[in-house]
């Protein structure tokens, strides 16, 4: 049964609308002010919120709408008022209100608005489930300072139409961030179209991006709609944009600047309205200097840069990520949940994760399949992660170089730093990110451990 939260300071409105909705099968809760409404929304997460614009107190209708969009973004909010000016309605819409009802309310108007809002809620749930199945869930896991900064930046720039260039190593979650930016924007209910620029054959880039007309070239037996048109009014995510060739870069630049495209073989410009998000694991600044990437296109894409941290720079997040991927595997498959010995987490924390979060997800899934319903030990971890790669200590407790290969040619100071960094990362992982516990395990004091972490560039969840 759909649940509705009514927030209005007028008892008669809450009683009459509540009775109407209860008779229609809705589960109704109500609150007399914004603070109480926000608390109920956070505790219950209703399917729909029906909020009065004019309410006394420090949290009026618009302020509550902002809080709900921030904390419960999937809940459609229907605003209502009998004294609202046009500017209030416009502002409410810009803040993300689903629709605006004028008092006196009519039963037909209320029921129609809520039915439409519930359809949107169901669509968002279906989309979230599909994203979860595809492995691009919008949940950003981790409480390290760097991840808090990423989430804060997403919250600030998501509601805008600014172009964003997301950079980071492979597997750091660039597509996840792009999806989160889309979900946080006013385009969230419009298309989110992804293009893997590295996977498009060079001679088909124009057709893939802009589409083609029937007969435009050999093999074009029917009209094709390109990715720009598919993303119209929504978001276009250009993944691996650094792999585009020079000709494709020029055509992409023109489409961004002119806000129009032409299908291959078509002579009529087509206006497009898309927000561009781009991602790459390449150093585009260097590519510009080397002449392999257009400087003007780089400036167009890099309005707001976002650098994602590698997993090795956020070791305190690893236990939470392991639990998240374990739970996700259980949800997908229904297989029993695995548990993780502290030594197993420490072994995972000692690995450098060249494939970052994507590699961790694969390793956790593999171990969840192999040890369903049982406990994962350090030995189990070492069977799926090459021992030499993460420098795990052999069973006798000795290690010549603890994962630092002399053949790497590192200076002694760098090799010692690498060894110290791995010891601290493993202790943090084993302690679930608790610095005091990690210091105890390392037989040092907390201030000294903080100093060493800062020197080595290791972020701490407790800072």
pLDDT band at 446 (very low <50, low <70, confident <90, very high): confident
Q: Does pLDDT of 132 surpass 60? A: no
Residue 260: other Cβ atoms inside 10 A? 14
Residue 281: other Cβ atoms inside 10 A? 18
Check: CB of residue 178 under 8 Å from CB of residue 237.
yes
pLDDT at 386: 60
Check: CB of residue 428 under 8 Å from CB of residue 413.
no
pLDDT in tens, 56-94: 888 999 999 999 988 888 899 999 988 767 777 788 888
Q: How many residues comprise the chain?
A: 463
pLDDT band at 11 (very low <50, low <70, confident <90, very high): very high
Check: CB of residue 289 under 8 Å from CB of residue 329.
no
pLDDT at 390: 42
Q: Does pLDDT of 338 surpass 60? A: yes
Mean pLDDT lowest among 76-85, 102-111, 113-122: 76-85
Query: Angle, to 10 degrees, between the axis of helix 86-94 and the axis of helix 61-71?
Result: 10
Q: Quick one: average pLDDT of 222-250? A: 90
Cα–Cα distance measured from residue 323 to residue 92, given in angstroms and rounded to the nearest whole number: 38
Q: Does pLDDT of 290 surpass 70? A: yes
Cα–Cα distance measured from residue 100 to residue 90, given in angstroms and rounded to the nearest whole number: 9
Question: What domains lie within the chain, and their CATH numbers?
Answer: 3-131 (3.40.50.2300), 145-309 (3.40.50.300), 312-456 (1.10.8.60)
Q: Does pLDDT of 38 surpass 90? A: yes
pLDDT in tens, 248-267: 999 999 999 999 998 888 87
Cα–Cα distance measured from residue 405 to residue 238, given in angstroms and rounded to the nearest whole number: 38
Q: Quick one: average pLDDT of 107-131? A: 82
Pairing of strands 260-261, 235-239: unpaired
Cα–Cα distance measured from residue 162 to residue 151, given in angstroms and rounded to the nearest whole number: 16
Q: Does pLDDT of 55 surpass 80? A: yes
- Residue 345 burial (C-beta neighbours within 10 Å; 0-12, 13-18, 19+): buried
pLDDT band at 389 (very low <50, low <70, confident <90, very high): very low
To the question of pTM greater than 0.95 for the whole model, the response is no
Check: CB of residue 220 under 8 Å from CB of residue 214.
yes
pLDDT at 76: 93
Please, which residues have CB within 8 angstroms of residue 53's CB and are 6 or more apart in sequence?
60, 61, 62, 79, 80, 81, 83, 84, 88, 92
Check: CB of residue 35 under 8 Å from CB of residue 12.
no
pLDDT band at 107 (very low <50, low <70, confident <90, very high): very high
Mean pLDDT lowest among 335-344, 360-369, 424-433: 424-433
pLDDT at 404: 44
Mean pLDDT lowest among 12-21, 36-45, 324-333: 324-333
Nearest partner of 361 among 166, 176, 168, judged by Cα: 176
How far CA 140 is from CA of 137, 173, 177, 180, in Å, comes to 8, 9, 8, 9
pLDDT in tens, 393-406: 333 333 433 444 44
pLDDT band at 459 (very low <50, low <70, confident <90, very high): low
Nearest 5 degrees, angle CA 135-CA 140-CA 141? 95
Residue 428: other Cβ atoms inside 10 A? 34
What three-state secondary structure class fits 33? coil
Cα–Cα distance measured from residue 436 to residue 441, given in angstroms and rounded to the nearest whole number: 9
Mean pLDDT lowest among 214-228, 239-253, 262-276, 418-432: 418-432
pLDDT band at 120 (very low <50, low <70, confident <90, very high): confident
Give the DSSP H or E segment for 418. Answer: helix 412-430
Cα–Cα distance measured from residue 290 to residue 373, given in angstroms and rounded to the nearest whole number: 53
Residue 152: other Cβ atoms inside 10 A? 10
pLDDT at 221: 77
pLDDT at 410: 52
pLDDT at 397: 36
Pairing of strands 270-271, 260-261: antiparallel
Q: Quick one: average pLDDT of 110-127? A: 85
- Residue 111 burial (C-beta neighbours within 10 Å; 0-12, 13-18, 19+): middle
pLDDT at 432: 65
Runs of H (alpha helix) within 24-173 = 34-44, 61-71, 86-94, 107-133, 145-157
Pairing of strands 270-271, 375-376: unpaired
pLDDT at 352: 86
């Amino acid at each position: 049964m759909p649940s509705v939260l009514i927030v209005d300071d007028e008892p008669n409105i809450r009683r009459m609308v509540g009775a109407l909705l209860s008779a229609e099968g809705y589960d109704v809760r109500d609150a007399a002010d914004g603070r109480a409404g926000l608390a109920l929304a956070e505790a219950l997460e209703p399917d729909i919120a029906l909020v009065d614009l004019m309410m006394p107190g420090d949290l009026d209708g618009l302020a509550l709408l902002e809080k709900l969009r921030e904390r419960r973004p999937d809940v459609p909010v229907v605003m209502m008022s009998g004294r609202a000016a046009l500017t209030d309605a416009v502002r409410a819409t810009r803040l993300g209100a689903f629709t605006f009802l004028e008092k006196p309310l009519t039963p037909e108007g209320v029921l129609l608005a809520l039915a439409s809002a519930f359809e949107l809620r169901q669509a968002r749930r279906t989309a979230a489930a599909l994203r979860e199945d595809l492995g691009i869930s919008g949940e950003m896991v981790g409480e390290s300072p760097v991840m808090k900064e990423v989430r804060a930046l997403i919250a600030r720039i998501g509601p805008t139409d600014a172009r964003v260039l997301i950079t980071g190593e492979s597997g750091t979650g660039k597509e996840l961030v792009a999806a989160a930016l889309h979900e946080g924007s006013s385009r969230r209910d419009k298309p989110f179209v992804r293009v893997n620029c590295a996977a498009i054959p060079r001679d088909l880039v124009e057709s893939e991006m802009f589409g083609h007309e029937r007969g435009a070239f050999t093999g074009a037996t029917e009209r094709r709609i390109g990715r720009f048109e598919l993303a119209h009014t929504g978001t276009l995510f250009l993944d691996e944009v650094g792999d585009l060739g020079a000709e494709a870069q020029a055509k992409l630049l023109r489409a961004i600047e002119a806000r129009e495209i032409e299908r291959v073989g078509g002579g009529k410009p087509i206006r497009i309205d898309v927000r561009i998000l781009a991602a790459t694991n390449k150093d585009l600044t260097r590519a510009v200097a080397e002449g392999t990437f257009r400087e003007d296109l780089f400036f167009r894409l890099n309005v707001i840069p976002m650098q994602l941290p590698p997993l090795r720079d956020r070791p305190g997040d690893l236990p939470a990520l392991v639990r998240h991927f374990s739970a996700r595997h259980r949800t997908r498959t229904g297989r029993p949940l695995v548990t993780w010995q502290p030594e197993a987490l420490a072994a995972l924390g000692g690995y450098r994760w060249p494939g970052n979060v994507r590699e961790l997800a694969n390793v956790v899934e593999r171990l969840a399949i192999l040890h369903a319903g049982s406990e994962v030990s350090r030995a189990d971890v070492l069977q799926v992660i090459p021992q030499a790669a993460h420098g795990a200590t052999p069973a006798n407790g000795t290690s010549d170089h603890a994962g630092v290969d002399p053949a790497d040619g590192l200076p002694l100071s760098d090799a010692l730093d690498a060894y110290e960094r791995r010891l601290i990362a493993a202790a943090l992982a084993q302690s679930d990110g608790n610095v005091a516990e990690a210091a105890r395990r390392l037989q040092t004091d907390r201030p000294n451990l903080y100093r060493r972490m800062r020197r080595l560039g290791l972020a701490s969840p407790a800072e």
